[in-house]
Each structure stands twice: as C-alpha cells, then as structure tokens.
Amino acid sequence: MTEQEDPSRDRLKLHFAQRVTHQARQVLEVWQRLQHSEWKAADLTELADASLRLQRYAERFEQAEHAQLAADLSACLDAVDDNRGRLSSALISELNRLMQRLSRTGLRHSDTLEQTFLPPLRKPVYLCLQDVDKASRLARQLEYFGLGAQVVADSGLFQSAMAERHPAAILMDIDFAGPGLGLALARDLQQGLKQRLPLLFFSEQEPTTPTRLAVVRSGGEELFVGSLDASTLLERVEELTMVAHYDPYKVLIVDDSRAQATHTERVLNSAGVVTRTLIDPIRTMDELADFQPDLIILDMYMPECNGPELAKVIRHNDRYVSVPIIYLSAEDDLEKQLDAMSEGGEDFLTKPIKPRHLISTVRNRAARARDLKSRMVRDSLTGLYNHTHTLQLLEDTCSRARRDGEPLTFAMIDIDHFKKVNDSYGHPMGDRVIKSLALFLKQRLRKSDHIGRYGGEEFAVILPDTDAATAARVLDDIRQRFSEIHYPAQPQDLRCTFSCGIAQLNATTDASSLSQQADTALYQAKNGGRNQVAVYSD
C-alpha cells in the first residue's frame, strides 16, 4: 500500500485538521463576544492569545491557510498595540475581513469556493415532544439537512440522555411529561448548567401571556406554536449554535469640528464600530451612497447648513428614509432639540457625553435599524431577500465589481415541475419545498453571496468575486444534493429538482442585461431537459 493510500495517515491528517479548525472556532467565539461589550485591553489580549495558539497549531499540523490567517491576525493586533491600544476604522475593517475569511475555512478540502459555515454540529438536537410520532417525523426531516436529532419520549429518558451527553440544542414541548411540566423541567435543567444550552419550546395551542412569560424565564430562545417545520427549526438551531458572521456597525459622522469628530470616532472605534468622518456636510449624499452606514451622527450647527436641514435632504432619498439620525450637539435648549428631532432625527445627545452612553445609544439604534431593514427587504416565507432588494443588490455589486476589477456571476434557479407539486400534494407541501431549497442555498453558499426569492418557485443568487465556471460547479453540486432529499408524503415520498441559468458580468453588460442573460440560460436549462445548470454564452 502506498503512502497516499494509507487510511491511518488520512485519519491522522483529518484529526489534525479538526484540531486546527476547533482552535479557529475559539478565535471566532472571542471575536463574537467582543461585539457585545466595550472593547478592553484584556479582551484584545485574549483574542491575541487565541490567534497565537491557532498559528502554532496550524504550523505544527501543516495547515497553511490557517497559519497565514493567524499570522495576519497577530500582525493586525500588534498594530493596535503600536497605536497605543487605539482601534482605527481601518484596523477594525481589517480585523473583520480576516475574521470573515477565518469563518470560511471550515469547509471540505474538495470545495473550490469558500463557504462560511464551520464544521457541522456533531451533537444531536434533543426532541422532547408529547407526540412521539411527530418527533420521529421531525427527526427524519432534520436528517435530510445533515442534522442529527434524538427523540426523547419521557422525562426519565431525558434525564438519562442529559447525564450521558449534552445536546447541541433542546426542543421542549411546554407540556412535556404533563401540563406545564416541560417548562419546569427546562428551568431546573438550566439552573444546573455552567453554560446554558440553546432551548426552544413548542406549544400545540396558542399560549397565554403568562405562559409566554414563563418560557422567557425558563431560558427559552424561541416558542413555536401549532406546527413545526424542519427547515425553520434547523435555521433557528444554527443561529443559536454556530459562530455568527459578524458585520460591524457603520456610522457616518458629520461634524465641522475636526477635534469633536475625531473624539467621536475614537470612542466608537474603541467599541468595534466602523466610522467615516465628514467635515464638509455638502458631500454627505456622495458618502452615503459609497459608505452605506447603519446610522448617521449629525452636528446641529455647521457653517454651510445646519443639522435639521441636512436631515431633510437625507430623508428626501427613499433609500435613506430608515437610516437613524442622531444629533450630537452642545445645544441644551429642549425646544430646539425637539424641533431638530421633528426633522427626521431619532435621538438628541448633548455634549459632553459619556463614552458608554454614546456607544450604547449607537449600538441599540443601529441594531434596531438593521432588524427593521431586514424585515422590509426579506421574503416572509423563506427569509431570503425579496425581488426588489435583490435587484438593488445586483446593481450595487455590479458597480463594485467594475470598480474593483473583480468577476461577478448572477444565477437564476427554478424548481422543476413545481405546479405538479402544488396540484398533487397541496400548497403546504409546495411551501415546504421552497423553504427547504432556500435553506439549502443558505447552508452551502458564502455569507458574501446574496440569495433572493425572485418570485414563486424562482430564486436568484449573486456571487461576487466568482467566475461563471466556479459558480457552475458550486451550484451543480447543490443541485445534485437537493435532488436527494425525500419529503414524506402519500402515496409515496416526493423528490424535487431544479434548473439553473448562470451569466457572468463583462465589459458590455449592466445589471439589467446580466439578469436577462441568466434568465436566457435558465430557459436553455429548462429546454435541455431540466435538472441541470446552463451557463450563458453569446
């Protein structure tokens, strides 16, 4: 047997790769914790130590990509030390870029396109439902998506299972083992743990407000009512258990005083917020288009225009209607503050302001704005971007690709014979198929890729920094895996396929023509027999 064929050597290499990937997860978890607090020297020291351990492991086990990323992280953190512990927007952006790359390293070595999920959960999800048959069906559906689930029939078995092994997450019927006993069981469980487990509850009937309050007090992260869908459950479990992709808040500061603007910038940078400062308010609209901030901080009094006037100009553009505006000024006249806020402002902060107060206000406002924007631009069934926002993203990414000289690919996906699915199995089954494909795409594409529901059973995918050949390989792999899913049904299980059309941006195309080309390629795939990927060619 040759060295290449030695299975023990392959197992050893896999073991080493898993050790390195585990340490990468530790680095990412420290980074994630930093986003919920004002950054302190001790936090950055912990991050530096974790990065150094990653570099040592990666070099020892010959994992070149991890070693290089860890070295770059260490260099970035050394630059923070050289800057007397101060974080600039440039350093925050670089740290975030490296962390995003690190989060994309937990992929199969055969993958040619980076993906953002770390290795799949090895621990199962415990399903503690009164209806054991329902739990068993749910477990089978979860297996289609690669997530292990263990059905727990009663409280005794639950205690035994917990003593043997802690799960990735728990789905608990609020009436498991008796009316209201599921809540009590979960509450007692969490009190005995050093680190809380992700806990989700289920109720067959619409719960009362006191019951919902009991769910919160028991540590519940979610309450499902009436029905349970495997894709929705899986998505929530992944949100609670996987290391999140962190995108730092971006704040545009408009202040004619360079000293005050620099102070505000340093305070926000110290908390991991990316900032851009404008001394000239007349350039605000250009900066908004380029920077796309989550929040704007305006001075009240500036030479060329005042804050309320600039707020009106910003609000004239529909694209920035929902971006929060905070006034930061020495003005302490309450009437003038109220008048300013009536012109489109969300808050008024009076100078001097404590750093913690400013950071907390900015984070809370920016987080809520992101949440509201997400609800506005996403499809309610799948959670993907809606048609309008997908086209807007396509225009933005086309402009960025031309500016940076990078490839860009656009793909259109359509579920084959979807009308027959609705006619033969009903619309609820059709919705399940649509949601499962949405989840499949989210699981197997990068965070930097944009996925939208174009309409009905049609999807769109924007793949930045990706050529058509690479996109075709990735999407064809997803097509093959999607076709293997079985949906339990009568008289026989259902299986579905999709067709896909791909087009790559070139010197003569814009967003509109790129979309038309992808649609033409999709038409070719349909005419060619369906269940295939076609690439547009002149």
Q: What's the confidence (pLDDT) of residue 178?
A: 87
Range of weakest confidence among 152-161, 340-349, 444-453: 340-349
Do residues 266 and 86 lie in contact, with contact meaning Cβ atoms separated by under 8 Å?
yes
All domains of the chain, ordered by start, with CATH?
3-103 (1.20.120), 125-241 (3.40.50.2300), 250-375 (3.40.50.2300), 387-535 (3.30.70.270)
* 3-state class (DSSP) for residue 67: helix
What's the pLDDT tens digit per position in 398-446?
Answer: 998 998 899 999 999 999 999 999 999 999 899 989 988 998 888 788 8
Q: What's the confidence (pLDDT) of residue 514?
A: 95
Long-range pairs, 54-61, Cβ under 8 A, ≥24:
54/20, 54/23, 54/24, 54/26, 54/27, 57/19, 57/20, 57/23, 58/20, 58/23, 61/16, 61/17, 61/19, 61/20
Question: Mean pLDDT throughout 204-222?
Answer: 90
Q: What's the confidence (pLDDT) of residue 15?
A: 57
Q: What's the confidence (pLDDT) of residue 467?
A: 93
Taking 80 as the threshold, does the pLDDT of residue 278 lie above it? yes
What's the pLDDT tens digit per position in 110-151?
Answer: 333 333 333 344 578 899 999 998 899 888 877 766 678 899
Q: What's the confidence (pLDDT) of residue 85?
A: 62
Q: What's the confidence (pLDDT) of residue 242?
A: 58
Do residues 39 and 91 lie in contact, with contact meaning Cβ atoms separated by under 8 Å?
no
Taking 70 as the threshold, does the pLDDT of residue 243 lie above it? no
Taking 50 as the threshold, does the pLDDT of residue 106 lie above it? no
Q: What's the confidence (pLDDT) of residue 474?
A: 93
* 3-state class (DSSP) for residue 463: strand
> Which range, 238-242, 323-327, 349-353, is most confident?
323-327
**Residue 313 neighbours by CB distance under 10 Å:** 15
The token pair that represents 297 in the structure block: 């901080």
Higher-confidence residue of 532 and 380: namely 532
Q: What's the confidence (pLDDT) of residue 481?
A: 87
Q: What's the confidence (pLDDT) of residue 110?
A: 31
- Of the pLDDT bands very low, low, confident and very high (cuts 50, 70, 90), residue 466 is very high
Q: Which helix (H) or strand (E) holds 413?
A: strand 408-415
Report DSSP letters for 422-462, one per residue: HHHH-HHHHHHHHHHHHHHHHHHS-TTSEEEEEETTEEEEE
Q: What's the confidence (pLDDT) of residue 200?
A: 93
Question: Mean pLDDT throughout 373-379?
Answer: 83
Taking 80 as the threshold, does the pLDDT of residue 199 lie above it? yes
**Residue 83 neighbours by CB distance under 10 Å:** 11
Do residues 182 and 175 lie in contact, with contact meaning Cβ atoms separated by under 8 Å?
yes
Q: What's the confidence (pLDDT) of residue 17?
A: 64
Do residues 469 and 458 lie in contact, with contact meaning Cβ atoms separated by under 8 Å?
no
- Residue whose structure tokens are 């007692």: 188
Q: Which helix (H) or strand (E) holds 70?
A: helix 64-82
Taking 70 as the threshold, does the pLDDT of residue 1 lie above it? no
**Residue 342 neighbours by CB distance under 10 Å:** 10
Q: What's the confidence (pLDDT) of residue 377?
A: 86
Q: Which residues contact 496 (CB under 8 A, 6 or more apart)?
A: 415, 416, 417, 418, 421, 433, 437, 482, 483, 485, 487
Taking 90 as the threshold, does the pLDDT of residue 166 lie above it? no
- Of the pLDDT bands very low, low, confident and very high (cuts 50, 70, 90), residue 9 is low
Q: What's the confidence (pLDDT) of residue 176?
A: 92
- Answering whether pTM is above 0.75, one says no
Of the candidates 175, 189, 183, the residue with the CA atom closest to the CA atom of residue 214: 183
Q: What's the confidence (pLDDT) of residue 372?
A: 83
Higher-confidence residue of 31 and 526: namely 526
What are the angstrom distances between the C-alpha of 212 and each of 117, 183, 208, 403? 32, 10, 6, 51
Work out whether the CA dihedral 390, 394, 400, 405 comes out positive or negative. Answer: positive
In whole numbers, what is the pLDDT of the chain averaged over residues? 83
Work out whether the CA dihedral 45, 51, 54, 55 comes out positive or negative. Answer: negative
Report DSSP letters for 394-411, one per residue: HHHHHHHHHHHT--EEEE
Higher-confidence residue of 367 and 520: namely 520
Taking 90 as the threshold, does the pLDDT of residue 375 lie above it? no
Of the candidates 363, 500, 443, the residue with the CA atom closest to the CA atom of residue 115: 443
- Residue whose structure tokens are 């967003």: 511
Higher-confidence residue of 394 and 96: namely 394
Q: How many CA atoms lie within 13 A of 68 on its CB side?
A: 5
Range of weakest confidence among 331-345, 465-479, 504-518: 331-345
Q: What's the confidence (pLDDT) of residue 39?
A: 65
Range of weakest confidence among 30-44, 182-196, 209-223, 500-514: 30-44
Higher-confidence residue of 41 and 91: namely 91
Of the candidates 346, 363, 344, the residue with the CA atom closest to the CA atom of residue 355: 363
Taking 90 as the threshold, does the pLDDT of residue 218 lie above it? no
Residue 72 DSSP one-character state:
H
Taking 80 as the threshold, does the pLDDT of residue 14 lie above it? no
Of the candidates 349, 367, 370, 355, the residue with the CA atom closest to the CA atom of residue 269: 355
Distance CA 256, CA 239 (A): 42
Beta strand 347-350 pairing with 169-173:
unpaired
Report DSSP letters for 339-383, one per residue: HHHTTT-SEEEESS--HHHHHHHHHHHHHHHHHHHHHHHB-TTT-
Higher-confidence residue of 262 and 22: namely 262
